[in-house]
Amino acid sequence: MTNPKDEYAKRGPLTNEEIQDMLDRASKIQNEYFKLRVRALIGILKKFGKRRVEISNLKITDLKVENDFLFITFTLRKKHKRGLFQYLKYLKKETPEGLNKPYPVLVAEWRTWRLTEEGSRYKEERRTKKVSVTDKYAKLILDYVAYLKEKYPKAQYVFPSGRTVFGQAYIVMDDRPLSGRQLLNLIKPLNRRVWLHLFREFLGKTIAEEDNTIQGVYRVKESLDLEQEETAWRYIRRFGVQEVKAET
C-alpha cells in the first residue's frame, strides 16, 4: 500500500481471529448473494493468498470439483520491465534520432520508459491449486459458486461485475469481472483496517512459522507463486522462529 496512514502502516499481521470476525460479520448481511460472495472471497484469500488481479480474473470454468477436491486454476500476470537494449531497439524503430543523445540521458529516459506500457511486458502463467471439499473455507467457495450458477447461470466470472438499479435490485453483468478495487470494497465494511494483501502475507507467515528451513522457503515461493526466492526468504526472516537446541 503506497503511503499508508499510520493506522495501516503500524498495524500488525492479520490474525485468525480477525478473519473469523469478518466471516461472522458477513453472515449478518441480509442479501444472500452479497453474503455468500464476500464469504467466498475471504475463503479464496485465506486458502490461497492470491493477488487481487488473479482473483478478479477467475472464471467459472477455472473451478472444478474432482475426487473430493476443489481445483482452482489461477492466471498469473506478471509485469517485467524491459532492459536498456530493448529501449534502444524501440528508439531505433520509433525515433532513430533519439539514439544520438548522450548515454546518461538515454539511461535516464530508459528508466522513465520502463514505467510505461511500452516499457513493460506481461507474462501469463496458469497455476492450479487444490483443497479438500471438506475444508471450511472451500465450503464457503462452493456454496457461493453453486448459488451463482443457479441464480446467474450466464455469469462468466466467479466475481462478476454488477450495478444497483433504483437503489434496490442488483443486476449482474455476465461478461465483466469486479475490479481489484471493487473486491477490496467488499471486505472494507467488515474490517476497515484490512486489505487484500494482508491475506497473502498471512499465508506466507503461516508457512514460515511452521517451517523456517530451505524447504519452507520453497513452500512459500510455490504457495504464493513468487518469481524470486529472495521474496520468499523475506517471509522466513520476518516470521520464522528458530528453535534453539535444548541442553541439560
Question: Can you list the domains of the chain with their CATH numbers?
Answer: 11-75+126-193 (1.10.443.10), 83-118 (no CATH), 196-248 (no CATH)
pLDDT tens digit sequence for 62-79: 999 999 999 999 998 776
Instruction: Tell whether the model's pLDDT for residue 46 goes beyond 50.
Output: yes
123 versus 201: the higher-pLDDT residue is 201
Segment 110-139 mean pLDDT:
89
Across the chain, what does the average pLDDT equal?
Answer: 90
Look up the pTM and report it: 0.80
Cell of 220: 512459500
Q: If pLDDT is split at 50, 70 and 90, which confidence band does 248 have?
A: confident
CB neighbour list of residue 229: distance below 8 Å, 6 or more residues apart = 217, 218, 221
Proportion of the chain above pLDDT 70, given as a percent: 94
